[in-house]
Structure 1
Amino acid sequence: MKIIKLIAFYLLGIVAILCVSVFPQYFSTRGMPDTSGYFGQLIQFFGEMANPNLWLYPVQGSKGEFPILEVLWEPFVYSMKILLGALGLGFFIAFCFAMAATFLPNRVLAPVKRILDFLESVPDLIFASLLQLLVILVLKTTGIHLFRVASYTEPVYLAPILTLAILPMVSMFKILLLMIEEEFLKVYVTFLKSKGIRRFGILMRHILKNIMPISFHHMKIIIWGTLSSQFIIERVFNVHGLTFYLLESFTPMTIAFTLILIFTPFYFFFQLMELWLKDESAVPLEIKSQRWGRWNLLQWKKDVKNGFAFSLKSIKIRKPSLFRPFTYFFQLLFSHMKNWKFALGLLFFVIAIGYSLIYSVTTDNHVDQVRLYYNEDGSKLLGTPPLAPTEPFFFGSDRLGFSLFDQLVIGAKYTLFFALLIALLRVFGGLLFGVLYAFHLRPRSQEWFGRMTDSIHFLPLSLIAYILLAPILMPTMQGFAYSFTERVLLEIFILTILVIPLTTVLLGKEIKQVLEYEFIISAKVLGGSKFHVFWRHVLPHLGPRLTILFGQQFIQVLLIFIHLGVFQFFFGGTILSFGMQADPPRSMTNEWSGLIGQIGQNAIAGGRYWFLWILVAFMLAIFAMQFIIQGVKEVQQVKVGVLYKLPKKRKIHDKNRETPYSMSNQVTKDRFRRIKHTQ
């Protein structure tokens, strides 16, 4: 039965991939005469997939077509070598560092954790650019060629593996370090220490055995992020892997087989490992007693409908007040503003977005431009675009001579505001559906939904976003297929809906965990409705977790913006000019990822290093959000008593003593003498 379930969920994943593969063709042909709708194209594509003779890879500019598996298999193996090499190297270094860090004192371990937080905030594009820059500088200064940083006639391995290994190394190192620290605080470790077992023996024989199953579950999230990073790393290092062949022939057939090749090995590996690690005794009896074949869709719909209707009837709305939500919000904000990390992070977003709005209103989005840069008297030509810092512009200019600083200021409101909006919609949508997941779905239905959602971890998010946004953001000779407002709304919708299933399961499980607390059971016994339990008890516990999840989603959206920007997919649309002497692609909104696409292309090879200012802006936004997340964590830890502030001691000065001393309730001999002397 388990094997049947495994195959059934795999087939559901394949069907989802086929549905996604048709979207680019549907968006690009929408509105054209003699074209069928989405479902018509989907049915036609299912028919093509059922015929192996139609599994062909068309070559652009040629009438020839080749068997698609023969074309994609070698690039797939090449990409998997890079990915597995990076994962193996990253996990091995993380394991060694975590074992060594366990024996470090706290004064040494604290700065190590800060360095990890810093490395986790640096976008992968910066690591790739700095690695290329290092190799070029060493070659120019010493004549030593360390290794190839781009693939032309021969495959390149070391540079992409080193760059790609940083993310899994840092993430797994932090997870292992946290879990080891938590295990050392448990009772059984104290018992083992009392038996005389040394710290190293406890670590190797007991703690590693306990944390490995949990570490395995974290690996899925890490591999998901690494797959998205590989999509951009292959582009930066000119690797002719799956990404290259996908972009060369962007057809539904190529998209489907590319995603299937990525999805299949990771799906079966993780599902088989979960079956091996799963403890049958931990499965609730309610789930064991049910049979897979008795799942009734009509009964499930009826239960959800009745439960949701009962929850709506149980809502008791108090007398409406216009000021109550604002009062609660400002009270909550003021309590967090006392934490300097939260205040500093929030101040960055307020200043950046506020200054961008003021600049746009006062200057009508004016951007300074210098085509030819002369000296003061105009007798000598000093430079042509792109102009280096600091003259005539402090941050330099792009290839058309536009000031980078002006574009950064104008694009800040689009980049930061819409990234915050998408992150907010992801969290709000996940919370809304998470409530339905926890309160109104049966355990069997929750298992089904969780298994189907779990398949998303094996598909690169940046690649899926590229596939869906390609026909929306890129114009043709006739112009855009959608208006500016439609493009913005569609991009927000796509980047939101791709992650809502994951946030739904995550928050749904968090809600289920809170519902198991004893005070929740007491509230139900006293007659509390589902809405009352959620609003009065569950939601306050989820508040800090929602803020942390919001920050994580914001950082992920920024990284997707960076990845799409490298492929010249800019927020709101890409301006293209056609002709023999066409201008480089430009962003309609001057948002930051558009600047990466305009300036970052071939910048290192041309010696234009000032485009890194754009990546610094992304890093500052990520650092600011991490400050907010850390501030929320510290405020919550103070509330529950994990962290607390000691009251400051009042100090008085004694005229007969040079140094101040602290007030104390204890009467000493010296204090008694001073009191007696004053009398």
Structure 2
Amino acid sequence: MKLLRIAVFYLLGVFAIICISVFPNFFAETGLSDPFGYFSDLGEFLLTFIQPESWIYETSMSKGEFSLIGTLWEPFVYSLEILFSALFIGFSLAFAFALAANFLPQKILQILKRGLDFLESIPDIVVAALVQMLMLYLLNTYGLEVFRVASYMENKAYALPILTLSILPMVSLFKILLLMIEDEFAKDYVLFLKSKGIRKIGVLFIHVLRNIMPTTFHHTKVIIWATLSSQFIIERIFNVHGISFFILESFTPMTIAAALIMMFTPFFLIFQLTDLWLEKSENYDLPNLSIRRSYNPKAIIENMWHSFRLVEWKQLNPWKPIAAVFRTLLDYVSNWKIAAGALFFLLLISTSLIYSVATDDHVDQARIVYEADGVTVKSTPPHPPPEPFLLGSDGQGFSMLDMLTIGAKYTLFFGLLIAFLRVITGLFGGVVFAFWFGTKRQKWIEKMADSIHFLPLSLVAYILLRPILTELQSGFAYSLTERIVLEIIILTILVVPLTSVLLGNEMKRVLSNEFIKSAQVLGGSRWHIFWHHVLPHISARTTILFGQQFIQVLIIFMHLGIFSLFFGGTDQTFGLVQDPPRSISYEWSGLIGSTTHALSSGNYWLIAWVLLGFMLSIFAMQFIIYGVKEVQQTKAGVIYNSRKLKRIKAPQKTTSDDTMDRQSFRFTGKSEAD
């Protein structure tokens, strides 16, 4: 029965991949003019897909027809060799470092954690660019070729792509293992084992490591998901002709479907079979908050409408939630990390808006720069900094500083907007998941949403957005407004199943508490329970999720920029002499498309400043996330206000009536009765 269930989930995953593979042709040929035409296209492709003789690899550059599986198999194996080697090296180093770190002094361990937070915030493109620049520097300066920088013809690059790709899973798993081992050592059974005289190394290897393995396995899904997207970019930067290269070269529904299924299958089988081996029953003691459990969609909608009508809208005070939000913001802004991160975004977006209004998005341009004599040529585009422009210019002589300033508002505002839409739609989905679906239905939804972890998110985004954002000789297929709206919708929907399940599980944990049963016994409706009990408990987790989604959106922007897919559309020129693709709005991903050229030519400023802008934005959001965690820990009593603690003087003689003030950890010398 369990194997049959795995087969059903696999078939559902394959069907979802087929649905994705049909979208590019639909957007390119029919699109918004006939939305229901997608289903006819899907039906036609399904009939073609089940016929093995139609599995043909085609490209626009070649009129020949080749075997689909025969063409894709070798690059697929090449990609898997790089991916599994990187995962093996990264995970092995993470375990070795995590075990060794537990024997370090506590001060050094805290510094190490801060360093891991910093490394985890560095985008994969920055890591790949720095590694490649280092190899080129050693080659050009000392003639030393440590690793092959890129694949060429039959000379495949292995070592450098593998080592670069292994950094992300190593850092992520290292950080997770440190936290889990630290939590495990705080449990009672560890104290008992130590009291029996068992040494720390024995407790770590025999007990702690065994207990954290199931949780570690589940964390690796998210790590592998991020690594798959990074491989999509690293293969591009190092000119690796893996499976993604052949997807982009052909870009037919058949090639897309076959390639994604080949990538999906091994990871699905590995994780599903391991889940089956590790499966343990999780019984949540949840109150029955639904009127009637039913798998009929009509009945579920009727129950939701009934709950909606029960809300006493006339008695709701619209200012009450606004005042509550305002008070919460004051609590958060008092934390300097949150204030610093929010101020960064406020200043950058405001400066960009003011500049655009004052100059009408003017960008300075300098074709040729002469010396003081007016005859000798000093530089031609791209001009290095600081003359004629502080941050240099691009290949056409446009000021990098002006373009970065103009594009800041588009990059950051739409990044924040997409992250907000992801969280708010996930919040609504989580309410439906936790309050209206039964346990069995929740398990099915969790398994189906879990399948998303086995497909590279950036590659799926590229597949869906390429026909929308690419300009043809006849022009764009959609208007600017349509392109922006469609990109926002697609980048939002891609993760809604995951955010819904994540927030739904957070709600389930809150619903398992005893005070929820008390509220239900006292007559509290589901709306009352959600608004007054569940939402306050998950607000901090929701804020953290918003920050994480914003960082993920920025990384997707960067990945799409490598492939010249810019937010709002890619402006291209056609003819014998073609200019590089440009972003219509100067948003930052449009400045990142020249990464490969910049690295090979040594014009570092073409990408250095925009990568710095992305990194600073990610660091600012990380500051906000850390600040939110600190505020919540302070409220829970996990940490305290160190400034108040410094004001404590030497301890005085106290009596049995002495009590301790909870906020300042200072003895008052009075009892509550006084």
| TM category, shorter | over 0.9
Q: Does 1:604 align with 2:599?
A: yes
Query: Which among 565, 589, 595 is matched to residue 561 of structure 2?
Result: 565
CA shift, 1:34, in A, is 12
Change (3 A) 1:124 1:299: closer
1:78 aligned residue: 78
2:41 aligned residue: 41
Q: Does 1:383 align with 2:351?
A: no
CA shift, 1:310, in A, is 3.4
**Deviation per residue, 1:436-458 (Å, 9 max, x gap):** 10000011111111111111110
CA distance in 2, matches of 1:138, 1:417: 40
Change (3 A) 1:649 1:144: closer
CA shift, 1:225, in A, is 0.4
Query: Which among 479, 493, 500 is matched to residue 496 of structure 2?
Result: 500
CA shift, 1:326, in A, is 3.9
**Residue 271 of structure 1 aligns to which amino acid in structure 2?**
Q
Q: Does 1:470 align with 2:466?
A: yes
2:405 aligned residue: 409
CA distance in 2, matches of 1:501, 1:664: 55
**Residue 28 of structure 1 aligns to which amino acid in structure 2?**
A
**Deviation per residue, 1:603-627 (Å, 9 max, x gap):** 1111111121110000000000000
Q: Does 1:645 align with 2:641?
A: yes
CA distance in 2, matches of 1:650, 1:73: 65
Contact kept? 2:557, 2:589, Cα under 8 Å? yes
Q: Does 1:527 align with 2:512?
A: no
CA distance in 2, matches of 1:223, 1:650: 45
Aligned 1:237-252 pairs, distance under 5 A: 237-252=238-253
CA shift, 1:647, in A, is 6.2
CA distance in 2, matches of 1:253, 1:298: 38
CA shift, 1:331, in A, is 2.0
TM-score, reference length from structure 1: 0.92
CA distance in 1, matches of 2:294, 2:204: 51
CA distance in 1, matches of 2:558, 2:285: 47
1:135 aligned residue: 135
* Structure 2 counterpart SS, 1:527: coil
* Structure 2 counterpart SS, 1:165: helix
* Structure 2 counterpart SS, 1:382: strand
* Structure 2 counterpart SS, 1:434: helix
* Structure 1 counterpart SS, 2:596: coil
CA distance in 1, matches of 2:496, 2:68: 33
CA distance in 2, matches of 1:461, 1:588: 24
**Residue 75 of structure 1 aligns to which amino acid in structure 2?**
P
* Structure 2 counterpart SS, 1:601: helix
CA shift, 1:530, in A, is 0.5
CA shift, 1:246, in A, is 0.9
Contact kept? 2:293, 2:437, Cα under 8 Å? no
CA distance in 1, matches of 2:490, 2:509: 30
1:258 aligned residue: 259
* Structure 2 counterpart SS, 1:163: helix
**Which is further off, 338-347 or 317-326?**
317-326
* Structure 1 counterpart SS, 2:599: coil
Q: Does 1:234 align with 2:235?
A: yes
Contact kept? 2:293, 2:436, Cα under 8 Å? no
CA distance in 1, matches of 2:576, 2:646: 77
Contact kept? 1:303, 1:440, Cα under 8 Å? no
2:613 aligned residue: 617
| Structure index of larger Rg | 1
**Residue 578 of structure 2 aligns to which amino acid in structure 1?**
A
Gaps of 5+ in 1: 287-295, 652-660, 668-679
CA shift, 1:666, in A, is 4.7
**Residue 639 of structure 2 aligns to which amino acid in structure 1?**
L
* Structure 1 counterpart SS, 2:311: coil
Aligned 1:411-490 pairs, distance under 5 A: 411-490=407-486
CA distance in 1, matches of 2:536, 2:182: 28
Q: Does 1:340 align with 2:336?
A: yes
* Structure 1 counterpart SS, 2:597: coil
**Residue 137 of structure 2 aligns to which amino acid in structure 1?**
L
1:213 aligned residue: 214
CA shift, 1:329, in A, is 2.8
Change (3 A) 1:94 1:62: same
Change (3 A) 1:355 1:615: same
CA distance in 2, matches of 1:32, 1:510: 37
CA distance in 2, matches of 1:650, 1:248: 64
CA shift, 1:141, in A, is 2.3
**Residue 263 of structure 1 aligns to which amino acid in structure 2?**
F
Contact kept? 2:294, 2:300, Cα under 8 Å? no
Change (3 A) 1:649 1:304: closer
1:591 aligned residue: 587
CA distance in 1, matches of 2:651, 2:31: 82
CA shift, 1:324, in A, is 4.0
* Structure 2 counterpart SS, 1:205: helix
Aligned 1:14-163 pairs, distance under 5 A: 14-30=14-30, 37-153=37-153, 154-163=155-164
Contact kept? 1:314, 1:530, Cα under 8 Å? no
CA shift, 1:318, in A, is 5.6
2:181 aligned residue: 180
Change (3 A) 1:508 1:322: closer
Contact kept? 1:419, 1:558, Cα under 8 Å? yes
CA shift, 1:590, in A, is 0.3
CA distance in 1, matches of 2:634, 2:336: 14
1:657 aligned residue: none
Change (3 A) 1:409 1:177: same
Aligned 1:365-380 pairs, distance under 5 A: 365-380=361-376
CA shift, 1:301, in A, is 2.3
* Structure 1 counterpart SS, 2:57: strand
TM-score, reference length from structure 2: 0.93
